[in-house]
Structure 1
Amino acid sequence: MGKATIKSGSINLLNTIIGAGILAMPYGLKCNGLLFGSFLILWSSLTSAFGLYLQNKVSKFTQQQGAVSYFSLSQLTYPQLSIVFDSAIAIKCFGVGVSYLVVIGDLMPKIMESLNVNEGILMNRNFWITLFMFTIVTPLSYLKKLDSLKYTSIVALFSVIYLICLVITHYAMHDTIPDDTTIDTSVDFFGPKSFKSTFSSFPIFVFAYTCHQNMFAIINELEPSERSGSQTRQSNHIIRNAISTACVSYLIVGIIGYLNFGNSVNGNIITMYPKDSKLSLIGRLCIVLMVSLSYPLQCHPCRGSINHVIYFIKNGVKSGWKLRNTNVTNEGYTPINNEGNEIESLNDHSFISTTPMEGAQDTDGHDPIIVPLSSRGFYAITSIIVIFSYLLAISVSSLAKVLAFVGSTGSTSISFILPGLFGYLLIKPQENNKIDILSKYGGLILSIWGFLVMIVCLGATIFLGATH
């Protein structure tokens, strides 16, 4: 059973949020002006936080404590679409995981070049991808609980802290741009600068806070306590801690990085610093370490979603399966009595690796809607994910366009459309409960916002060449 805490949940959620996207924040401000770009960072943090809040809210209203997932919620709303929901999550997480491996393959030869190593196997990108896969990525991907990754997440977040310190230090020292340079270091304080620049950079801000695929797993691993309070209260603290910390980090790197290089800044701030600088070299190593330790946080939800897709393909939407443990009426979710052998209990050798916890029950003691994942299935699915992501990473050098399409559909679905839709359909406000009423109809607005974001991001990808 999970024994997650507010601290471990905050660390894992924050590490899921902050990835290589932080390196593009100064470029995002360049495209929109300092003030308007900062507003987009703040606005994206609020919309993302509201999506997480709705996930937390829905987990309470469905009474599936310890067993909430996108799959179980789809069984209460649109079971025929559950395969679409989980496929989107699986593809999104798989694609991001592969992109982390590509980053490792791209950066490590450059790091070797900075160390005056210009030939041999150490300049081979596939060698470094293979090395990191066998030593770090693969072993961590086989951990069964998300809470087990909290220590690696701490290490990864120290890399983010170093990057922030690097940006601040170089700005204070004024040592990045020679005085006799012709590089444009001017700064645009107001914006937006143009519709084209805003739309092309918009995905940078939207996708920077995508972490919703792991939120249910974190909620399920929490346990109520007198000190920390209910799962709902703990989850709200986790959301606040992770989103606010990520937002502050993005603002610091974005603003100071843009002020340092002005309109000459490119899409990766770490490449702007001198190659012969030891501080910059350590910064590049930190980025490699961060993405390698973040891969398991993408593998975790990907594995669970693939398990759900396999179940759907084998069984489809069986008549009565949706109501096996629940009775969904116009009044919302209500438990029904367990009769005979209709309820299949989990075997001792089975467990739920991604969303519901083993032996989880609802508030009235009934089994929740779950798809158990056996040990054999766990290792088989994990091996497939690791092997195929490795083969894809060593076969291609850039996944920018593919990830742009996947992010435009998968990220918006996970972050906005599904949380908003589930909130609108499943939250049943009691009389005069304004918070629940606002949450319910706020969910509808968030879903509409998600569809608009999807249209804008797909348009930016197709017509403006934006990348994820």
Structure 2
Amino acid sequence: MLQNTSSGKSATIRSGTINLLNTIVGAGILAMPYGLKSNGLLFGCFLIIWSSLTSSFGLYLQSKIAKYTESHDSVSYFSLSQLTYPNLSIIFDSAIAIKCFGVGISYLVVIGDLMPKIMESAGVSSDSIFVNRNLWITVFMMAIVIPFSYLKKLDSLKYTSVVALFSVMYLICLVLEHYFFEDNGPAPEGIHWFGPISLKSTLVSFPIFVFSYTCHQNMFAIINELSPSEQDGSQTRQSNMIIRNAISISCSSYLLVGITGYLTFGESVNGNIISMYPKNSLSSLFGRLCIVIMVSLSYPLQCHPCRGSINHVIYYIKKGINDRKSSNTVREPGYSQLASDVESSNEADSSADTSFVSTTPVEGAQDSRGHYPIAVKLSKRNFYIITTSILFFSYVIACSVTSLERVLAFVGSTGSTSISFILPGLFGYLLIKPINGATELNKKEQLCKYGGLALSVWGLLVMILCLSATIFLGASE
């Protein structure tokens, strides 16, 4: 079997699916029964499926764009912006960094909120140090979050993702077990089988479905770490299979938990299904512990893209717009040349680590036509400084606050919609072009191009809707 193993590429369809799935399925699965309560069983299931389709189309466009940019080894939102609107790169990367940083903080807040309750359910006195939220944030930071956040390849997180997904599987089994075996009496009152309770309830709960499939910040990193092979096919084929697997499994999981959880508790269900089960139950206690494990192992998947985007923002601040426009390399239409890292290779040798693929492309990457550079160097020094800064500030903020719902609602409304819909759609519309000497787009290419434009418009509508719900109705992610 012929396979390209250069650049330390070790990702496979299986590992890519595991990491993408773990990025998708997080604590949001616990709110699915509440989402169905707010929208009715039938319409709520439609929203889950519709959100999966729009999200998967955004992921598909990312895979498609990677092919059209002719830079399979080095695709990122940064590299794409260099082909379209270079001066907006800092905005794109800032949105990704803020979104991922905010979600990472929320994971630590969940740990701090749940562990004291777990200790109390286990019989620990309320005066004990073991019910101190900051203690548990510190423990999980030191034991899990920090060590795994310093892993350099996204593919290296596949084993932690497996553990996190086992936690999700347990939660699903817990919900199913209570529905089929313990709470299998008559259906509770207040079940709305078809339409929503009200327009307000739909608007308030709509962000739950939209944000539950946000994983696009890691898609390019997965593509970059894939290698073409005779067995699995091209990078495009492999990435499409990863998208199909991850979206279908997550959608099925959301439907299972949403339907059975809602039918178990009816109108009394709240935004966290596991809090509905007896606190002193051993199975419920273990379920809460699974949530803590799941979010602590999911933090590195947010740190990874956040680090790469911050590296880009630092580059812009350091170099400035004028420096980016000046280059000794001859420019060609459609490319905004940046100061090439190759020009300072002697300096880079002492700090650069070319043994890994960061969230963004490999260091010094160029596309198939030799355009330099479409990636910003992530040196060892910057790698450790940025990672340490992310961990430190997220730890301080998580220990200082107890609720980030409203802040995360704003971040999610802007960051999630930008990453999931607006940017993939916009780049798809701008970059998809005839290939192989053709002068016109074929039907599939036209569908992707103009479908990308429609996805961007949808993203703008979703952003307006979610922001309005957050500001006027108090919705939160």
Q: Give the counterpart letter for 2:457 in structure 1.
A: I
Equivalence for 1:101: 108
Do structure 1's residue 427 and structure 2's residue 432 form an aligned pair?
yes
Any idea what the Cα deviations from partners look like across 1:142-195, whole Å, max 9, x if unmatched? 000000000000000000100110001011123499x9xxx9643110113211
Take 2:253 and 2:294, find their aligned partners in 1: how far apart are those partners?
15
Any idea what the Cα deviations from partners look like across 1:179-222, whole Å, max 9, x if unmatched? 9xxx9643110113211010000000000000000000000001
> Measured at CA, do residues 380 and 246 of structure 1 come closer, stay the same or move farther in structure 2, by a change above 3 Å?
same
Contact conserved, 1:75 with 1:322, CA < 8 A, in 2? no
Contact conserved, 1:55 with 1:216, CA < 8 A, in 2? yes
**Which ranges of structure 2 fall in alignment gaps of 5 or more residues?**
1-7
Question: By how many angstroms is 1:364 displaced?
Answer: 4.1
For 1:453, which of 447, 450, 462 is the aligned residue? 462
Residues 64-103 of structure 1 mapped to structure 2, 5 A cutoff: 64-103=71-110
Q: Give the counterpart letter for 1:222 in structure 2.
A: L
Question: By how many angstroms is 1:362 displaced?
Answer: 2.5
Take 2:165 and 2:366, find their aligned partners in 1: how far apart are those partners?
34
For 2:164, which of 142, 156, 167 is the aligned residue? 156
Equivalence for 2:392: 387
Equivalence for 1:40: 47
Take 1:414 and 1:399, find their aligned partners in 2: how far apart are those partners?
21
Equivalent pairs: percent with the same residue?
A: 71
Question: By how many angstroms is 1:359 displaced?
Answer: 5.7
TM-score (ref. length: structure 2): 0.92
Take 1:327 and 1:227, find their aligned partners in 2: how far apart are those partners?
39
TM-score (ref. length: structure 1): 0.93
Equivalence for 1:121: 129
Equivalence for 2:224: 220
Take 2:9 and 2:305, find their aligned partners in 1: how far apart are those partners?
16
Residues 4-19 of structure 1 mapped to structure 2, 5 A cutoff: 4-19=11-26
Take 2:321 and 2:180, find their aligned partners in 1: how far apart are those partners?
60
> Measured at CA, do residues 259 and 308 of structure 1 come closer, stay the same or move farther in structure 2, by a change above 3 Å?
same
Equivalence for 2:316: 312
Equivalence for 2:5: none
Any idea what the Cα deviations from partners look like across 1:339-366, whole Å, max 9, x if unmatched? x998666945334521212464423455
> Measured at CA, do residues 322 and 114 of structure 1 come closer, stay the same or move farther in structure 2, by a change above 3 Å?
farther
Q: Give the counterpart letter for 2:413 in structure 1.
A: S
For 1:278, which of 274, 278, 282 is the aligned residue? 282
Residues 240-259 of structure 1 mapped to structure 2, 5 A cutoff: 240-259=244-263
> Measured at CA, do residues 342 and 282 of structure 1 come closer, stay the same or move farther in structure 2, by a change above 3 Å?
closer
Question: By how many angstroms is 1:417 displaced?
Answer: 0.5
Q: Give the counterpart letter for 1:442 in structure 2.
A: G
For 1:444, which of 450, 453, 464 is the aligned residue? 453
For 2:379, which of 374, 377, 382 is the aligned residue? 374
Q: Give the counterpart letter for 1:385 in structure 2.
A: I
Any idea what the Cα deviations from partners look like across 1:431-450, whole Å, max 9, x if unmatched? 25111111011110000000
- RMSD over aligned CA atoms reads 2.2
> Measured at CA, do residues 175 and 317 of structure 1 come closer, stay the same or move farther in structure 2, by a change above 3 Å?
same
> Measured at CA, do residues 300 and 326 of structure 1 come closer, stay the same or move farther in structure 2, by a change above 3 Å?
farther
Q: Number of aligned residue pairs: give it.
A: 458
SS of match in other structure, 1:136: helix
For 2:176, which of 161, 165, 168 is the aligned residue? 168
Equivalence for 2:353: 350
Q: Give the counterpart letter for 1:170 in structure 2.
A: H
Question: By how many angstroms is 1:5 displaced?
Answer: 0.5
